[in-house]
């Protein structure tokens, strides 16, 4: 199984829906919604690739942009934007969490493939997962959600840290990646249900 491809598709699909719903909430036109969806889904990967001096993956492969277009079109056809408070529905939270964990994994794996140190691996995993959301929020002139919203960004850091440590032990494989992904997925869902928050000063 190609974990990078599988995780990337999940992340792109989940964050396309997230971007689309944000655009609808801010009453953007169809072009604005498309731009916000594209940036949310692909922005983190673009930032990641820019940091390591590569042409953004979305510019060299067709499936990232095709996934965004397909998911956006299906979301419009199914009229997901008319579902009241869909962002609060547990099914959407699961989807969004899958995207978060999936992108954290792909970012960390890129860092490992580039033979970065543990700090670099963690940063790439984190930025891949939350970079698109940060770009989206700045574009919409609001404080990025990861700075104020539960333990969202913390999960991205935990995934990346775990993969970096496992890589150091030489035990990185499909099974350990799945174990990290499933554990942090469950942790994020528990954090959401219990409304965990990081301490504030």
Residue 199 lies in a domain: no
Does 7 score more than 80 pLDDT? no
Residue 156 lies in a domain: yes
Q: How many domains does the chain have?
A: 1
Instruction: Look at the chain and count its residues.
Output: 201
State the average pLDDT for the chain.
Answer: 87
Residue ranges making up the domain that contains 55: 3-193
Check: CB of residue 124 under 8 Å from CB of residue 160. Answer: yes
Question: What's the pLDDT band for 177 if we cut at 50, 70, 90?
Answer: very high
CA distances from 131 to 19, 76, 84, 168, 176 (A): 13, 25, 27, 25, 25
Does 147 score more than 80 pLDDT? no
Residue 25 lies in a domain: yes
Q: What is the structure's pLDDT at 116?
A: 95
Query: Which of the pair, 87 or 186, is modelled with greater confidence?
Result: 186
Of the listed ranges 4-18, 37-51, 54-68, 156-170, the one predicted with least confidence: 4-18
Q: Under the phi-then-psi rule, with left for phi > 0, alpha for psi from -120 to 50, and beta for the rest, what region is 27?
A: left
Residue 200 lies in a domain: no
The number of helix segments (H) and strand segments (E) in the chain equals 8, 0
pLDDT tens for residues 52-91? 999 998 899 999 999 999 999 998 888 776 655 555 566 6
pLDDT tens for residues 103-116? 999 999 999 999 99
Residue 161 lies in a domain: yes
Residue 41 lies in a domain: yes
Instruction: Please give the Cα distance from 193 to 179 (Å, whole number).
Output: 21
CA distances from 146 to 120, 137, 152 (A): 20, 10, 6
The CA-CA-CA angle for residues 117, 150, 36, to 5°, reads: 80
């Amino acid at each position: 199984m190609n974990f990078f491809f599988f995780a990337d598709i999940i992340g792109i699909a989940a964050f396309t829906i997230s971007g689309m719903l944000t655009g609808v909430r801010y009453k953007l036109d169809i072009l604005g919604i498309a731009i916000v969806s594209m940036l949310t889904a692909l922005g983190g990967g673009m930032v990641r690739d820019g940091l390591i001096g590569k042409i953004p993956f979305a510019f060299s492969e067709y499936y990232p942009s095709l996934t965004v277009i397909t998911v956006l079109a299906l979301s419009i056809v199914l009229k997901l934007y008319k579902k009241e408070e869909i962002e609060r529905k547990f099914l959407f939270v699961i989807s969004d969490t899958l995207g978060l964990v999936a992108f954290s994994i792909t970012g960390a794996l890129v860092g490992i493939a580039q033979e970065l140190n543990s700090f670099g691996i963690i940063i790439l995993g984190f930025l891949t997962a939350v970079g698109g959301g940060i770009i989206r929020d700045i574009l919409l002139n609001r404080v990025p959600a990861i700075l104020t919203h539960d333990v969202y960004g913390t999960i991205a850091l935990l995934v990346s840290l775990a993969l970096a440590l496992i890589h150091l032990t030489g035990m990185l494989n499909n099974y350990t990646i799945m174990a990290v992904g499933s554990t942090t997925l469950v942790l994020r869902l528990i954090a959401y249900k219990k409304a965990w928050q990081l301490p504030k000063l």
